[in-house]
Amino acid sequence: MNFNLFAVSLRNLKRKPFRTAILIVSLGLLVSILVFGASFIISVTSTVNKAADRLGADLLIVPVGARDSAQEVLLETKVASFFMDRSILERVKEIEGIEEITYHTYLSSILGVCCDVPEAKIVAFDQDTDFILKPWLQKNLGRRLQKGEAIIGFDAEDNLMLLEVDSSVLFNLKFDFVGVLDKTGTGLDDAIFVSDENIPDMARAAKLYAGENEISVIFAKLKPGYTSEDVGGEVENQIVEVDVINRNDIGDKIIGVLMDINRLFLVLVILTSLISTFLAWSVFSAIANERIKEIGIMRAIGAKCSHVIRMFVAEVVIVALMGSFLGIFGGIYMSVTLNKSFTLLMELSASLTTAERFWVSGIGFIAGLVICFAGAYSSILRLRRLDPLSALKEI
């Protein structure tokens, strides 16, 4: 027979199942809000950070006024086209502190007009200077991308319904898909990549508004010892046709919005924590009150103070564990399903890694325990001080 203090604690909790359930559910709600909020914040910030890291550039140089559009293309799933003259490449190269540059040209496809894919980002890149896709090409393809070949971003396969398709018509030219890129967590996961050797043919075939002398964005790496602020400022001073986005400023617009959401979540979490702590306090106080007589009897027949505390703490831990796990599952479920309801998340390639999910779950778990123990603290102290006769006198 397995009968011990833990069994007594379980029986105690089952004594008033509705009250126990209310406490567990309310704790679960708090933890789920916390997990959802943390998942939201972390997924957005990590997407922005990953995007900046993945691009591997210190400066992004875009046409004047295209700063926001460029970030939307790079971080979000939005499709946009903006162009500047190719000659700007040479002018950027000559600026002190620039070590390496490459460029992208962004073309927008339109289903039934130019292409047989829905509106998608078509990115033309220069294979000679590229440092963004090169590692993948070397590892997976082992050769240069040929004319008439394309590789697709990780999410494009799903989003553009290209799963079963080997080729597609883009700007009236047939392209063979020769590979799917690894997930980057950037907006480029939704793009189709072609070599810039295709641009003249595409422009001719589709009477494309982007000519072969137009590019969308220049990615620049800096020489050691130069800061992106100084060199970026110099680029803007010398080339009035461009705007510069520093590596550290990538996603600053999103981060700004995020900080407001963060503050809102923080207020919500603080308020919910206070309510949950108060609820835990009132429930555990009521539990302690109605047990005084029983605790007196237990002490009189030989229970040590530590037995009583262990029994009560076990109840607190059981409630905390159940509430925390409920909240963690609820929060993860919310963060997965509600992502589709948040424009910001929908447009980002945001999803948490397993490690990040564990980390967020850990925060939720600790929060559940802390709130339960904070609520039960005064009752635990009271039970600690209770001597057998005072307890029996409560009868």
Partner 1 sequence: MALLELDKIKKDYNLEGQPIKAVDNVSLSIEKGDFISIVGHSGSGKTTLLSIMGGILSPSGGSMRFKDTDVYSLDDDHLSEYRALSVGYIFQFASLMPVLNSLENLLLPVVFDPKQTVGRAHEKKALEYLDLVGLSDKAKAFPNQLSGGQQRRVAIARAFMNEPELLLADEPTGDLDEETEAEVMDFLKKMHEQKGLAMVLVTHNSTLAAYAERRIRMTNGLMENLIQ
Determine, following the binding rule CB under 8 A, whether residue 4 of this chain makes contact with partner 1: yes
Determine, following the binding rule CB under 8 A, whether residue 116 of this chain makes contact with partner 1: no
Stretch that binds partner 1, among 61-69, 85-93, 138-146, 387-395 (CB under 8 A): 387-395
Nearer to partner 1, 5 or 268 (CB): 5
Whole-angstrom distance, CA of residue 134 vs CA of residue 201:
23
Stretch 11-50: interaction string toward partner 1, x if CB under 8 A: xx-xx-----------------------------------
Helix H segments across 239-352? Answer: 252-300, 305-337, 343-347
Distance of CA 52 to the CA centre of its chain: 14
* Residue 98: strand, helix, or coil: strand
Stretch that binds partner 1, among 10-18, 88-96, 209-217, 262-270 (CB under 8 A): 10-18
By CB under 8 A, how many residues form the interface with partner 1?
27
Stretch that binds partner 1, among 7-15, 81-89, 226-234, 330-338 (CB under 8 A): 7-15
| Nearest to 129, CA basis, from 100, 92, 87 | 100
Stretch 282-321: interaction string toward partner 1, x if CB under 8 A: ------------x--xxxxxxxxxxx--------------
Stretch (H or E) spanning 77: none
- Shortest distance (Å) from residue 44 CB to partner 1: 48
What percent of the residues of the chain are helix, what percent strand, and what percent coil, each to the nearest 5? 60, 15, 25
Whose structure tokens read 């009132």?
Answer: 282
- Shortest distance (Å) from residue 282 CB to partner 1: 21
- List Cα–Cα distances, 159 to 117, 151, 154, in angstroms: 10, 14, 9
Nearer to partner 1, 8 or 275 (CB): 8
**152 strand-pairing partners:** 180, 192
Contact predicate 175/148, CB 8 Å: yes
Determine, following the binding rule CB under 8 A, whether residue 380 of this chain makes contact with partner 1: no
Chain residues that interact with partner 1, rule: CB under 8 A: 1-5, 7-8, 11-12, 14-15, 294, 297-307, 388-389, 392, 395
